[in-house]
Chain A
Amino acid sequence: MERGHRLRGRDFPAPSEFRKTGVAIVGGGIAGLSAAWKLNKSGFGDFQLFELEDAVGGNARSGKNAVSAYPWGAHYLPLPGVEARETRELLADLGVLQGDPCAETPSYDERYLCFAPQERLYRNGLWQEGLLPQIGTTKHDQEQYRHFFALLEQFRQRQGASGLRAFAIPAARSARDADLMALDRISMRQFLFQHKLDSPLLHWYVNYGCRDDYGSDYARVSAWAGLHYFASRNGQAANAESDQVLTWPEGNDWLVKQMQRGFKERIVSGALVQRMEETKSHVELDVFMHSENRSVRWQADQVIFAAPMFVLPHLFEGLDTNLKQACQQIRYAPWLVANLTLNSLPNPGHGAPLSWDNVLYDSPALGYVNATHQNLRSHEGPTVLTYYQALSGEPEKNARQRLFDTPRNQWAEMILRDLSRPHPDIRDKVTQLDVFRWGHAMSMPVPGWIWSAARERLTLPHGRLHPAHSDLSGFSIFEEANYWGVKAAESVLQHQHLLLRSRW
């Protein structure tokens, strides 16, 4: 947080060292790591990855204490469909996916498939299995559920004129039929009302999906994005149901740790790239080394820019105006994540038993995930609960202000009060409560953004600069970041090969 803000002041020491590399990767989130993983896998070792923080992983970073490892952000991966070729290849590489990564229904390592029970919802004093409200629903609600899921099924099955699926992950492999793209211009809330869907319970469910995946209220999420969330996930498995997910105690940081195995020595962490400039023959990067309080000037043939795109105009000199404006248009959702260490499991309460994901109906937050759920132990014991809250109910600037202005103790009190409703015993069991504030957690797919010319501009190379970040998709999920990272690596490899050949 403070490290990044140093960019505003711009008081950095002059470079005291000069170095060269083939490819500089700026940013060690999933996109940057995926690019590095791809380069490394292709036998190309001449790269350096610069990460601002002390640890790579970006949104997927995690923590660990005596009780368990726990996520600070992204914590699961849905079963990838056949279009997510890059993600499937990565999972096969890490041993998570077994057999042919292109198979319709591959097998997954069962230790990483979310154990049963996967999710439950707390409403009116009772826990139910699954997240779609079922207890105390009217006939009208049930009819609307059926109507909505029938609509989703149509979108799930639909192929566009190009033969691509209507909604695919990565989003770049989705069809571009005009009527589908038109969905981007209205909000998900409007879409529901257009289809005469007015059940408050259905609206809650759809809104929950948007808040959970996009950090934004469904009134400010485009219908294309909202439908993408529900209709794109069609990954099948030989040993799991389609709606199951892959997860680890430390969340997606498990993937981060596995991915970087082959190129750990090429990661430079605590490194703030504070200025980039493209010259005729290369790109110059001034990198401020946080712990050493000095700068190093790197010279790279190519740059993969895998940091959040709003940062780019602050450090790239001579950026194309269109690209600059596109970067400035992205809107980011602020998030609050807390980890609560408990000396024993909370009392089970009435209804469905403690699950991996535990959602509260009447709550500003998204609920909590149990970090020890994937533990093999067959007895109850201490645990860590990860509590997620997207500050989605207000304009993001106000929300960001509130996120940072509210002291830690006040957040802690609000979280405990929220969790005390289903778990009156929670205060007696919490031994530690840590809070993490994400100011710019994820870019939001507001209406009109995903199929805008500005968003498309973000995806194009800029001279020797190859952008790679989930911001390019307009929403923040692992598979998108992974896709752009791999794609940038491939385009860099093409350039480098040409370069090699021309030098011959």
Chain B
Amino acid sequence: MSIALLISVFVVASCGLAYELVAGALSSYLLGDSVTQFSTIIGTYLFAMGIGSYLSRFVVKGLVARFIQVELLVGLVGGFSAVLLFMVFAWAGGPFKLVLYGLVLLTGTLVGLEIPLVMRILRQHYGLKDLVSQVLTFDYLGALAVSLAFPLLLAPHLGLIRTSLLFGLMNALVAAWAIWLFRAQLAGLKSLAAQCFLVTALLFSGMLGAERLTSLAEENLYADEIIYTETTPYQRIVLTRWKDDIRLFLNGNLQFSSRDEYRYHEALVHPALQAIKQPRRVLVLGGGDGLAVREILKYPEIESITLVDLDPNMTALFQRLPMLRALNQDALLSSKVSIVNADGFQWLDQSDDFYDFIVVDFPDPTNFMLGKLYTNTFYRLLEKHLSQHGLAVIQATSPLYARKSFWCINQTLQSVGLKTAPYHALVPSFGEWGYIIAGHRPYTPPENYNSDLRFVNASLNPVLFQFPPDMEPVETDINRLNNQVLVHYYESEWKHQAP
């Protein structure tokens, strides 16, 4: 029996260290700065173990039963710690650090209880000298085993969620074994066995559903019900719906809300397109949802629309799902539209064609890859593909939340010799949004607009093209491939806007 208990000491010790490592690794993944994370978590954990050791003196009766319950509790709390932390983190603005240190304290305290209890149970079999030596030997051996297995095997192959669940199961196993060993002398055997079974079952189902748990965590990122998800080689597409509001998210960033997207797309297309005499050939870069194309198709004189979007899954989705086809009014199925699935920059570099109207509707410059699409090199290329009387329009992030970014895009367009007309519109789900019209000649807003528009009309012109003091131009550098200043501007501006 004593050997059996010593083996459990080994297992218990390895579980204890594993939870500590999981918490440390997870917080350094999510929060960065691994040195700080590991050191504060180890400190808190050791302190909590001290609390547990102190509390052990208050356990007087039913030592074995308490030990079994502590094991089950450690298994449950420690086992689900990674899942819980991921979910709290995904739940935007969740009190992550509070939960993290709370969990570390709780697990540490429970783990701190284990060894004193085991020692007292084993006291009947060993003298004090042997007891301390044996228990601590196995304790430290267990720690060694995990500290080696964690970085080499567990974290890379199982991942953090499954690793912590696995150790939870091992705690439960020790509890089950203790129940079996002490079955003759335990009071309330049935109730303990039931608790043990429950915890094991929970952990086991957690293990089986680890994949689902990850997406469950994702679900908390979105306020509304997820109705469609797809992971393509380029991005993660998520559609949500609440009543009649359909929202599209790409990599977690909102692309449109069906309630007010008409504002965004009318403002994107019509001020420029309406001002072009006899537009025939149109190019849309980005905008695989077909909503800009829907607006462009309102001009019967247009002969061809080329839509270049990187992701074939995205354009296929908006040609297929009835709900989305209703939204873009089957724009992507029009005979005038030809779809090219290619990288916008590379495609434009290879193309020799001219266009009367070019819509540049790329994602915001959140990283250096996307930042390339806002450089003078890209705009020089854009300028080369614009016909003599042609105009381009560029979605240019928010002049209110990212004022410097917006004016940097304007400055960069001007640096390649384009005449620009910056403007803005209110799109409730985005906030105040900015666009820039660019062409070879100065732009004048049209006096008349297509009559079936819900948002843009001639009376709106002064509102669109005037910038109140809080969005007025600011001096910026030119965004170049070799400096990518825009990505820096954008990052610092939106960091201060985040909730």
Contact = CB atoms under 8 A, between A and B. Distances in A.
A126 B37 CA distance: 13
Contact of B372 (A118, A124, A126, A378): A378
B15 to A, nearest CB: 24
B373 A239 contact: no
Interface in B446-493: 480-484, 487
B184 interface: no
* Chain B interface category by residue count: 20 to 34
B369 A380 contact: yes
B377 A124 contact: no
Given A239-B480, A353-B367, A377 B346 contact: yes
A96 to B, nearest CB: 13
Contact of A379 (B234, B375, B377, B482): B234
Contact of B373 (A114, A115, A244, A378): A378
Nearest to A108: B482
Contacts of B370: 378
Contacts of B430: none
Interface string A60-94: 00000000000000000000000000000000000
Contacts of A95: none
Given A115-B372, A424-B156, A350 B34 contact: yes
Contacts, number: 70
B35 A124 contact: yes
B481 A113 contact: yes
Contacts of B376: 110
Given A124-B35, A351-B32, A378 B482 contact: no
A136 to B, nearest CB: 8
A237 to B, nearest CB: 9
Contact of A116 (B310, B362, B484): B484
B368 A353 contact: yes
Given A116-B483, A116-B484, A378-B343, A110 B368 contact: no
A240 B483 CA distance: 8
A351 B35 CA distance: 13
Interface string A360-384: 0000000000000001111110000
Interface in B359-388: 362, 367-370, 372-373, 375-377
Contacts of A353: 367-368
Contacts of B32: 350-351
A110 B377 contact: yes
Contacts of A378: 310, 343-345, 362, 369-370, 372-373
Nearest to B34: A125
A382 to B, nearest CB: 11
A115 B156 contact: no
B481 A115 contact: yes
B211 interface: no
Consensus secondary structure, chain A interface: loop
Contacts of A110: 375-377, 480-482
A65 to B, nearest CB: 18
Contact of A111 (B34, B343, B481): B481
B283 to A, nearest CB: 16
B349 interface: yes
B481 A377 contact: no
B195 interface: no
Contacts of B28: 350
B369 A379 contact: yes
Interface string A125-166: 110000000000000000000000000000000000000000
Nearest to A373: B368
A279 B377 CA distance: 57
Interface string B22-39: 000000100011110000
Chain B contact residues: over half helix, strand or loop, or mixed?
helix
Nearest to A425: B156
B364 to A, nearest CB: 12
B368 A377 contact: no
Interface residues of A, number: 25
Contacts of A244: 482
A379 B310 contact: yes
Given A111-B377, A115-B484, A353-B368, A379 B343 contact: yes
Interface string B11-50: 0000000000000000010001111000000000000000
Nearest to A126: B34
A117 interface: yes
Contacts of A240: 482
A106 to B, nearest CB: 15
Interface in B133-147: none
Interface string B278-302: 0000000000000000000000000
A111 B234 CA distance: 24
A102 to B, nearest CB: 23
Contacts of A117: 368, 484
A504 to B, nearest CB: 52
A379 B254 CA distance: 19
A376 B377 CA distance: 10
Most buried by A among B28, B349, B480, B481: B481
Contacts of B372: 115, 376, 378
A232 B184 CA distance: 85
Nearest to B38: A125
Contacts of A111: 377, 481
Interface string B331-350: 00000000000011110010
A111 B372 CA distance: 11
A247 to B, nearest CB: 10
Interface string A234-245: 000001110010
A314 to B, nearest CB: 45
A422 to B, nearest CB: 12
Nearest to B35: A124
B368 A376 contact: no
A378 B343 CA distance: 7
Nearest to B480: A110
Nearest to B481: A115
Contacts of A116: 368, 481-484, 487
Contacts of A379: 234, 310, 343, 369
A114 B483 CA distance: 9
A113 B377 CA distance: 11
Nearest to A245: B482
A375 B377 CA distance: 13
A351 B373 CA distance: 23
B346 A114 contact: no
Given A115-B481, A244-B482, A351-B32, A377 B345 contact: yes
Contact of B345 (A241, A376, A380, A424): A376
B253 to A, nearest CB: 15
5 contacts: A116-B484, A350-B34, A377-B343, A379-B310, A424-B156
Which 5 A/B pairs are nearest by Cβ-Cβ distance? A116-B484, A113-B482, A376-B345, A115-B481, A377-B343
Given A116-B481, A378-B343, A378-B345, 9 more contacts: A110-B482, A117-B368, A239-B480, A350-B33, A353-B367, A376-B343, A376-B346, A378-B372, A424-B156
Interface of A: 110-111, 113-118, 124-126, 239-241, 244, 350-351, 353, 375-380, 424
